[in-house]
Chains A and B, each alone.
Chain A
Amino acid sequence: MLNIAERTAQPGLIRGPVTLAYAFVERQTNLWKRYWAWELVWLVYGVVNTLAITFIAKEAEQAGITTDASHLVLFLLLGTLVWAYLSAVLDDISLVITWERWEGTIEHTLMAPVSRAVHLIGMSIFGVLHAIVRTLLIFAIAVPFFSVDLGQANWFAAAVVIVVGSASVAGLGILTGVLPLLYPERGTQMSFMIQAVVLLISGVYYSVDVLPPWLRVFSYISPATYFLDGIRGAIIDGDGVQDLLGTLATLVLFGVILVPGSIAVFAVAEKWARKTGQLKRQG
């Protein structure tokens, strides 16, 4: 006769959460290959955006607005690149529900015996890898357009900021990904709007000091602010890990709060969606 106890113990425990999380990385990679034309669009858009904004520094130099054009070039270049990275991570993760709804697979994915934490972490790992590849390509294409001096850059410290900071950004992505679960019709739009606000308050193209005080307050609660600070510190000022300890500690704190916190919020929202029948109606 069937051994129910054995069956129920099987997936998560024998195969382990790593293999289960990898299922999502593999699936997203397969999807990404099939949607390569869109990837190309985002790449071109990313390169053009990076160039367009960085040329503003050239203009400022020509018009005599700044004396230190090379600093401004690097400042804007890093701003656009970091934003390309952050928005790619946020997009991938926050679309976790929207994407499944659109494909019509949401119920089959959510009824699989995978804990939601493993599911969301798998999606986040893909998001981070995807964003790194895309940003490196943009970087490689855009940098030759400008004569930037990267001699002082501390690449190791920059890598540490990316690794540590990505967790907190993933948490933010999961948090905005809850909205489509709660509001099947408008949730995706709402999460894009939150992304836009993060762009405004985090000092992507300017330092947050220029914000009016009431907006400035919000910059403190955006992990992207510290991410940008860390990257600019490492690459423009050549700061090492020990110089960036304060920034890194803040990012760790955000990660420690946002990752488990957002997964917990997601679980509550999913339960509510299962109660009210918001996952799917037809079929």
Chain B
Amino acid sequence: MASPAIETRHVNKYFGGGFDYLRLLPPPFDRLRANGAKKGPAHVLRDVSFAAQRGEIYGVLGANGSGKSTLVRILSTLLLPDSGEARIFGLDVVRQSSEVRSLINRVSADPSFFRNMSAVENLLFFGRVYGFSPAEIKRRLPGILARLGFEWERALEPMSHLSRGQQQKMAVARSFLTSPVLMLLDEPTTGLDPRSKRDVQAFVRQVRDEHDSTILLTTHDMEEAELLCDRIAFIANGRIVAEGTPFKLRERVARGRPVEEITMETVFMELTGKRIEEDEEEAEKVLAAR
């Protein structure tokens, strides 16, 4: 049996909260701890288990700070889980990280390029480190850019001259250039103008229709999740609280109402107990309190 594209089991991730030395103090002094107590580590991913099958677009929908990027980073070998395991096509992301790296690529919410180099120079580098020759890169690139609605002349200008939308399209181009078997799209359309957003979404759908690559897409945009994803997992406070096809998720909360009339918003609210905006406000409060 072929292993799933992604499989995680009981993944936990904590950040911060080093050892609390004041805890070692004997009684009269331990009162120092009341003010000085270190905050415990933040539990950012809680027992995350899910599987994405080959060829599917698997969505992870959650508010800011719910742990989406942390999950993507663990899958892309940039973070080590504190417990549990994650496999990409059966390969362990910790022990077989170099094999995993050659199978994946990633788009993050911020484009991350060498800003004074041109887009072509950037892609030449990021393609080469995946083992592609400059000739192959130059052959593949124009097609990808055209499908993203990106004018070729602009690809020769320094990245810093490009708009955010154009930079993000370049980031999408960079990751598809290396023909990854698994693509990790971490909020690829966040902060984009509506036009660029549509271009990127259309491209993702085209890729799904034409290739058998698997895509994990995180977003906090309900419509986007519904538009693009075969299955969706809701993540709140680092925990996956529900999972299924958009239809199945609606059905779960329908209770007699016609399924088509239920919005994803409603589903999210009923299954997580919150509206996604509230969840975001809460996350902001948590951040502000830090």
Contact = CB atoms under 8 A, between A and B. Distances in A.
Interface of B is mostly: loop
Nearest to A119: B129
A7 B90 CA distance: 13
B130 A26 contact: no
Interface stretch (A28-36, A54-62, A186-194): A28-36
A277 B114 CA distance: 22
A279 interface: yes
Q: Choose among B91, B114, B174 the residue with the greatest number of A CB atoms under 10 Å from its CB.
A: B114
A209 interface: no
Interface string A271-283: 1001111011011
B115 A11 contact: no
B276 interface: no
Contacts of A8: 91, 99-100, 102-103
A34 B117 contact: yes
A274 B74 CA distance: 9
Nearest to A35: B116
Q: Report, as a range, how many residues of chain B touch the other chain.
A: 35 or more
Contact of A20 (B76, B115, B131, B181): B131
A27 B109 CA distance: 23
A279 B80 contact: no
B181 A7 contact: yes
A228 B54 CA distance: 59
B101 interface: yes
Contact of B103 (A4, A104, A110): A4
Contacts of B15: 276-277
Contacts of B186: 283
Q: Report, as a range, how many residues of chain A touch the other chain.
A: 35 or more
A197 interface: no
B237 interface: no
Nearest to A11: B131
Given A107-B112, A110-B78, A115 B69 contact: no
Q: Choose among B82, B106, B111, B131 the residue with the greatest number of A CB atoms under 10 Å from its CB.
A: B131
A7 B104 CA distance: 10
Contacts of B101: 111-113
Given A11-B129, A113-B130, A282-B110, 11 more contacts: A4-B181, A8-B99, A8-B103, A19-B128, A23-B128, A104-B115, A111-B78, A275-B79, A275-B80, A283-B109, A283-B112
Interface of B: 2, 15, 54, 69, 73, 76-80, 82, 89-91, 98-104, 106, 108-117, 121, 124-126, 128-131, 133, 158, 174, 181, 186, 212
15 contacts: A2-B212, A4-B91, A4-B181, A7-B102, A8-B102, A19-B133, A20-B128, A27-B114, A30-B117, A34-B117, A111-B78, A111-B101, A275-B80, A277-B15, A282-B110
Nearest 4 A-B pairs (CB), nearest first?
A: A11-B131, A23-B128, A8-B99, A112-B129
Interface of A: 1-2, 4, 7-8, 10-12, 14-15, 19-20, 22-23, 26-27, 30-31, 34-35, 103-105, 107-115, 271, 274-277, 279-280, 282-283
